[in-house]
Amino acid sequence: MLEVRNGTGETLGVLFDRYHAPLYNFYTKLTGDRTLSDDLVQEVFLRILKYRQSYEPGTPFRAWIYQIARNARVDHYRKTPRHITFEAEMVAPVMPKDSAQQSEETELLHRALLQMPEEKREILVLSRFQELKYEEIARLLGCELGTVKTRIHRAIQELRQNFKQLERGLAPRDAGPAVVKTIPPRRFGNEM
Amino acid sequence: MRCEEIGELLPDYFEGSLKAGQDSLVEEHIAQCADCREEVVIWKKLSLLPVERLGAGSRERFEAMLSAYQTGRSDKASAGFGPSKRGLLWSWLRSPVGALAWSAALLVIGVFAGNYFGNRPTHSSANQDEIATMHTELANMKQMVVLSMLQQQSAGERLQGVSYSRREDQLDPQVMSALVHTLRYDGSVDVRLAALDALSRHGAQPQVHKGVVDALQEQQSPLVQVALIDLMLEWRDPDAAQRLRDFVQTPNLNPAVRQRADWALSRLN
């Protein structure tokens, strides 16, 4: 990262190779939109290039990159507010024949996740899929470690409720709650 | 325990960071309590969600963005020079006379700065710590990049990893050991040759020396065998003659390789 910070474009390619997949999955699970997620990943790397001087050597790089990722998403929704809708295509396109039940379960789970308020969905995505430690999430969200754990527990309770309702067929297939609420990001000094 | 108390433990249970004994408390509770059990189940079920992959065009978009950004920056920089006078100055600086004058000026500045800063009191320990941290971070980053590239599926990327390792004058022990491993076991001849080339600059290090010399008996590719023979000759390894004598006894040895080994033996003797 220091090489990127000092202006070497080549090293950014190495960072792209390492982080594009986790970032893409962060966005797809948060937004349910592959095209937008792809755009946001590109935006993150552009911001890394533009604001590389704001990276403080010695501080965790992952926290910095996810901070940029969160800000990029918030800025996007600020410009173009929209509703999240479930995209059927988000479920893995090719599933083994004997896994029809699992495929249905996956779809319900994804719908249940996307029905959650963004704040809860984000903390689940960060803790379950991005391999971030709770301490790292606490730093990223600017809150206490205990708060992170409480939020994770509440989020999982809500996810369970949503999932059960969908399983029972109580919620219509296209019911998405989910007006996107923008979460004020904590910025690292610079406008990223 | 009550559900509220278990609920407080669940996030750590998910993360696997509960203290000894607390795990079994949670497990006992969820065996009896359906609500809490469902929370654990739903957490585990999240792993069913597919890992999404970016399309192939994404890398190209990134490259295009990078190149556009860099072009934009250089255009901006050159636009800042303004018209004729600065253009003339730039041409003059690029001419041989200008280059000589510019080099001399840099030398004077360098000597002056060296004297000035060299005589100043030493940096504060905080600055030195910061610089040391930066160096360590940079070294770790480079090391991580090389190690991860050497494990890639694509031979091209492994080759890139080997080239990247050549940028360092001092090889980190982990990188060195990964390069020796690459030399011995990589599936691609090109990558093995590149690893040998990278290691050849560090023959003074016993681990490299041993790894390279030992690799001779294991190699099947004539190209790598010849490169190894040449390197052993160049290093004038004390055991080289004996090792080469053993090597030429190998049955079904490629004739060109045998010839090279015989030639190296004659030079060593």
- Kindly write down the DSSP assignment for every residue of B87-116, as one continuous string: HHHHHHHHSHHHHHHHHHHHHHHHHHHHHH
Q: Cite the DSSP H helix spans in chain B.
A: 3-15, 22-32, 34-45, 57-79, 84-94, 96-118, 125-150, 155-165, 173-185, 189-200, 206-218, 222-235, 240-248, 255-268
Where in the sequence is the domain holding A13, given as residue range(s)?
A: 2-79
Please answer yes or no on whether A160 and B42 come within 8 Å at the CB atom.
Answer: yes
pLDDT digits (tens, 9 = 90+) for B161-196: 787 777 777 777 888 888 888 888 888 888 888 889
In this predicted structure, what is the pLDDT of residue A180? 43
Task: Nearest by CB to B54, from A13, A41, A109: name it.
Answer: A41
Tell whether B61 lies on the interface with A, counting CB pairs under 8 A: yes
**Together in a domain, A116 and A49:** no
In this predicted structure, what is the pLDDT of residue B38? 94
Please answer yes or no on whether B38 and A110 come within 8 Å at the CB atom.
Answer: no
Mean pLDDT on A13-32? 91
Search chain B and give the residue with CA nearest A92.
B50
In this predicted structure, what is the pLDDT of residue A182? 41
Residue owning tokens 């681990």? B207
Q: Which of A157, A163, A165, A166 to mutate to test the interface with B (most CBs of B within 10 A)?
A: A157
Q: Cite the DSSP H helix spans in A80-184.
A: 100-114, 118-128, 134-141, 145-167
Does residue A90 have a pLDDT over 60? no
Does residue B115 have a pLDDT over 90? no
Tell whether A20 lies on the interface with B, counting CB pairs under 8 A: yes
Which residue spans of chain B are classified as CATH 1.25.10.10?
Answer: 148-268
In this predicted structure, what is the pLDDT of residue B124? 60
Please answer yes or no on whether A153 and B138 come within 8 Å at the CB atom.
Answer: no
**Together in a domain, A121 and A60:** no
Pick the most confident of A94-108, A150-164, B116-130, B189-203: A150-164
- A vs B, Cβ pairs < 8 A, gives 119
**Together in a domain, A54 and A75:** yes
Q: What is the percentage of chain A residues whose pLDDT exceeds 70?
A: 71
Please answer yes or no on whether B11 and A14 come within 8 Å at the CB atom.
Answer: no
Q: Which residue has the higher pLDDT, B221 or A80?
A: B221
**Together in a domain, A74 and A92:** no
**Together in a domain, A98 and A132:** yes
Chain A residues touching residue B62 (CB < 8 angstroms): 13, 16, 20, 42, 45
In this predicted structure, what is the pLDDT of residue B174? 81
In this predicted structure, what is the pLDDT of residue A94? 42
Residues in contact with B31: Cβ distance below 8 Å, sequence separation at least 6, in sequence order: B37
Burial B72-100 (b: 16+ CB within 10 A, else e): eeeeeeeeeeeeeeeeeeeeeeeeeeeee
- Of the given ranges (A69-83, B98-112, B214-228), which has the lowest mean pLDDT? B98-112
Please answer yes or no on whether B11 and A153 come within 8 Å at the CB atom.
Answer: yes
The CA distance from B99 to A76, in Å, is 49
Q: What average pLDDT does chain B have?
A: 79
The CA distance from A185 to B91, in Å, is 49
**Together in a domain, A73 and A104:** no
The CA distance from B192 to B204, in Å, is 20
Does residue A177 have a pLDDT over 50? no
Q: What average pLDDT does chain A have?
A: 79
pLDDT band at B222 (very low <50, low <70, confident <90, very high): confident
The CA distance from A105 to A113, in Å, is 12
Does residue B82 have a pLDDT over 50? no
Does residue A192 have a pLDDT over 80? no
Q: Which of B39, B62, B138, B151 to mutate to test the interface with A (most CBs of A within 10 A)?
A: B62
Please answer yes or no on whether B46 and A24 come within 8 Å at the CB atom.
Answer: no
Q: Return the structure tokens found at A109.
A: 């789970």
In a domain, A187, yes or no: no
pLDDT band at A187 (very low <50, low <70, confident <90, very high): very low
Mean pLDDT on B196-220? 85
Residue owning tokens 């055991």? B239
DSSP state of B19: P
Tell whether B38 lies on the interface with A, counting CB pairs under 8 A: yes
pLDDT digits (tens, 9 = 90+) for B233-260: 888 877 888 888 888 888 888 888 898 8
Q: Cα A49 from chain centroid? A: 21
CATH of the domain at A118: 1.10.10.10
Q: Which residue has the higher pLDDT, A161 or B93?
A: A161
In single-letter form, the type of residue at position A150 comes to: T
How many domains is chain A built from? Answer: 2
**Together in a domain, A110 and A74:** no
Does residue B78 have a pLDDT over 80? no
Task: Nearest by CB to A156, from B43, B141, B148: name it.
Answer: B43
**Together in a domain, A62 and A123:** no
Chain A residues touching residue B66 (CB < 8 angstroms): 9, 12-13, 45, 49
Please answer yes or no on whether A29 and B49 come within 8 Å at the CB atom.
Answer: yes
The CA distance from B41 to B39, in Å, is 5
In single-letter form, the type of residue at position B269 comes to: N
Does residue B145 have a pLDDT over 50? yes
**Together in a domain, A147 and A99:** yes
Chain B residues touching residue A37 (CB < 8 angstroms): 52
Task: Nearest by CB to B62, from A45, A106, A129: name it.
Answer: A45
pLDDT band at A172 (very low <50, low <70, confident <90, very high): very low
In a domain, A21, yes or no: yes
Tell whether B51 lies on the interface with A, counting CB pairs under 8 A: yes
**Together in a domain, A133 and A66:** no
Tell whether B31 lies on the interface with A, counting CB pairs under 8 A: no
The residue among A79, A106, A123 that closes a domain is A79
Tell whether B4 lies on the interface with A, counting CB pairs under 8 A: no
pLDDT band at B53 (very low <50, low <70, confident <90, very high): confident
In this predicted structure, what is the pLDDT of residue A121? 94
In this structure, the dihedral spanned by the alpha carbons of residues B162, B154, B184 and B164, taken in order and rounded to 10 degrees, is: 10
Bridge partners of A179, per DSSP, are A83
Please answer yes or no on whether A109 and B50 come within 8 Å at the CB atom.
Answer: no
- Radius of gyration over alpha carbons of chain A, in Å? 18
Give A66 to chain B, closest Cα distance, Å.
18
Tell whether A37 lies on the interface with B, counting CB pairs under 8 A: yes
Mean pLDDT on B100-108? 68
In a domain, A73, yes or no: yes
Please answer yes or no on whether A149 and B12 come within 8 Å at the CB atom.
Answer: yes
Task: Nearest by CB to A9, from B42, B52, B66: name it.
Answer: B66
Q: Which residue has the higher pLDDT, A6 or A102?
A: A102
Does the predicted interface ipTM exceed a cut of 0.85? no
In a domain, A184, yes or no: no
- Of the given ranges (A36-40, B41-45, B144-148), which has the lowest mean pLDDT? B144-148
Residues in contact with A169: Cβ distance below 8 Å, sequence separation at least 6, in sequence order: none
pLDDT band at B200 (very low <50, low <70, confident <90, very high): confident
How many CB atoms lie under 10 A from the CB of residue B263? 14
Does residue B105 have a pLDDT over 80? no
In this predicted structure, what is the pLDDT of residue B176? 86
**Together in a domain, A94 and A124:** yes
Tell whether A125 lies on the interface with B, counting CB pairs under 8 A: no
Mean pLDDT on A171-175? 47
**Together in a domain, A45 and A112:** no
Provide CATH code, domain B148-268: 1.25.10.10
CATH of the domain at A7: 1.10.1740.10
The phi and psi torsions of A83 (rounded to 5 degrees) equal -95, 150
Q: Which residue has the higher pLDDT, B23 or B114?
A: B23
